[in-house]
Structure 1
Amino acid sequence: MTVYLLPNTQKPEAMQMAGKVGNILSQAGIRLVMDKLGSSLAPQGDHVAILPEDQAYRECDIVVTLGGDGTMLHAAHKIMNNQKPLLGINIGRLGFLTCVESNELHLLNRLASGDYHVEHRSVLQASVDNAENAPYLAWNDVVLFKKYPERTITLDIYCDDILVSQFRGDGVIFSTPTGSTAYSMSAGGPIVDARLNGVVVTQICAHIGQTPPLVFASDRTLQVVPHGKLDERVAIICDGTNYHTVGPGEAITIRQSERTVPLVQFSKAKQLESIDRKLKGR
């Protein structure tokens, strides 16, 4: 087995932890690879192969990140094409996406014996009608937000061409079940079992036409159409990146992608354990 060890180079504690993780994995008989940047900041010795990032993703069997949810999201977008399983070690604060806490490194020994399972988490894709851009992908959420802070925006939301919501406010969040513990939860959305498939729609500070969060089946096609003055732009943000703006009348289509994020898990109740521990401050 080959593991691509990917620490967050902006976190000194992640770089320090990389040495300990590298030793555990190599002693378990696992081959390690790192990219040039990570290895230069967290040297691992002769038992680590240093490869260009793209080659490391191709040659590995599993990607192990050290950081928080942001590090996991970055790696997830890299592995959506080649479907390499992803395992996150939490060095951050909440770490809802990560699988292993910093005090649970002994679990890494189970990789060598195959004592783990892989969950395929759903991904959303968002496309702008008549735009040349390829569909944007999101593991957590697709957010439509007002471009100008001092204004509100009017949005029509359709499900399979049927109008299901019309409101004026700051924006709307389309989240995967995995992303239901992120921005959507902060905006009052439900926490959804990450093993389900579906789309959660949560309004952001609705001023007129507020409705409860909506949950749609994974085979539904959702569409959002902004209304208003020509200079009222709406920003589209997928997993905090891929910034794009649209104007009134430009439709955005959101559906579940055929791609997934394969996630290494040691417990089938990991999400529930994380919610219980982290939301209660344990």
Structure 2
Amino acid sequence: MKAALYPNFQKPNALSCAREACDVLAECGIEVSVSELFRKDFSDKPQVKFEDINESAKEADFVLAIGGDGTILRCAKLLIGSDTKLLGINTGTLGFMAGLEANQLDKLSLLTNEEYEISQRMTLDVVYHSEKGDITATVLNEVSARSGSFHICDFEVYADEYLIGRYRADGVLFSTPSGSTAYALSAGGPVIEPDLECIEMTLICPHTLFSRATMFSPGRRLRMKDTTTREDCMVISVDGEHFASIGVNESIEICRGKNNINFINLIGNSFHESLCKKMCKPIK
């Protein structure tokens, strides 16, 4: 078996967590690889191999993303199109997508006997038809569109070329079930179990008295068209990273992604247990 580490050393305790994970994995007979960029941090670990993470992530049996939810999202992009499994280890603030906390590394031994559950998370593919050609991306959480100058936006949304509605709002989110507990939740959207398959549309601060999140079948092809009349581009972000800027009468298309991401659940925590533990108790 082979494991690749994807640590974010900007997070507290991520380095000590990654080093301890190397020791636990080695004791279990699991080969460990880390990016060449971190050679000095693991130079005293003879069991560690140094490889390009873009290659090792696709060749490994599983990848350990050590950090917060942002780290896990960035790591997930490396696994698109592969069968590699993803295990998040939380050293961040929330770590809602993580399967383990930093103080649970002894549970890594369960990987050797495949004593874990797999949660397949759907993705979204987004396409922007620019003058220079199509720009594409795949997201695990959401696609967001909003004004670059923080003005209110006018836009239309189509499903399979049928006009769903014309809207005025600060922006709009198109989310996977995994992303329902991220930006979409803060924008007033519902909580969706991550194993479901649907596309959620949530308006951001809509200029109306009546607005509800809308759920679409995963087979729908959605299109969001900017109809704002002033000279102001809508900024499109994918999983929190800038993707494109679109102008008046330009659009983006969103559909179910061609690939799933396989998340490892080592300790049997249900989605609802994690939801209560990490999002309810801190508020109480």
- Per the TM superposition, whether the score is higher than 0.5 is yes
Post-superposition CA distance 1:36-71 (Å, at most 9, x none): 123423445111111122332243111011101111
Give the conservation status (yes or no) of the 8 Å contact 2:129–2:135.
no
Q: Please say if 1:21 is aligned against 2:34.
A: no
Deviation of 1:117 (Å): 2.6
C-alpha change, 1:133 and 1:274, in structure 2 (3 Å) is same
> Which aligned pairs between 1:67-146 and structure 2 lie closer than 5 A?
67-129=67-129, 131=131, 132-146=133-147
Give the distance between the partners of 1:59 and 1:128, measured in 2 at CA. 30
Give the distance between the partners of 1:21 and 1:60, measured in 2 at CA. 16
Give the conservation status (yes or no) of the 8 Å contact 1:154–1:228.
yes
C-alpha change, 1:105 and 1:263, in structure 2 (3 Å) is same
* Aligned position for 1:253: 253
Secondary structure of the residue that 1:134 maps to in structure 2? strand
| Counterpart code for 1:201 | M
* Aligned position for 1:62: 62
C-alpha change, 1:271 and 1:42, in structure 2 (3 Å) is farther
* Aligned position for 1:169: 169
Q: More deviation in 249-258 or 269-278?
A: 269-278
| Counterpart code for 1:55 | E
> Which aligned pairs between 1:228-243 and structure 2 lie closer than 5 A?
228-243=228-243
Deviation of 1:123 (Å): 0.6
Give the conservation status (yes or no) of the 8 Å contact 2:42–2:48.
no
Deviation of 1:20 (Å): 1.3
Secondary structure of the residue that 1:245 maps to in structure 2? strand
Deviation of 1:267 (Å): 5.2
Deviation of 1:102 (Å): 1.8
**Ranges in structure 1 where 5+ consecutive residues have no aligned partner:** none
Post-superposition CA distance 1:199-223 (Å, at most 9, x none): 1110001114752001111001111
| Counterpart code for 1:136 | A
* Aligned position for 1:216: 216
User: What is the number of residues matched between the two proteins?
Assistant: 281
Post-superposition CA distance 1:81-125 (Å, at most 9, x none): 323111100111111111111232222111011111322211101
Give the conservation status (yes or no) of the 8 Å contact 1:167–1:209.
no
| RMSD of equivalent CA atoms | 1.7
C-alpha change, 1:268 and 1:190, in structure 2 (3 Å) is farther
Give the distance between the partners of 1:78 and 1:98, measured in 2 at CA. 17
Q: More deviation in 167-176 or 9-18?
A: 9-18
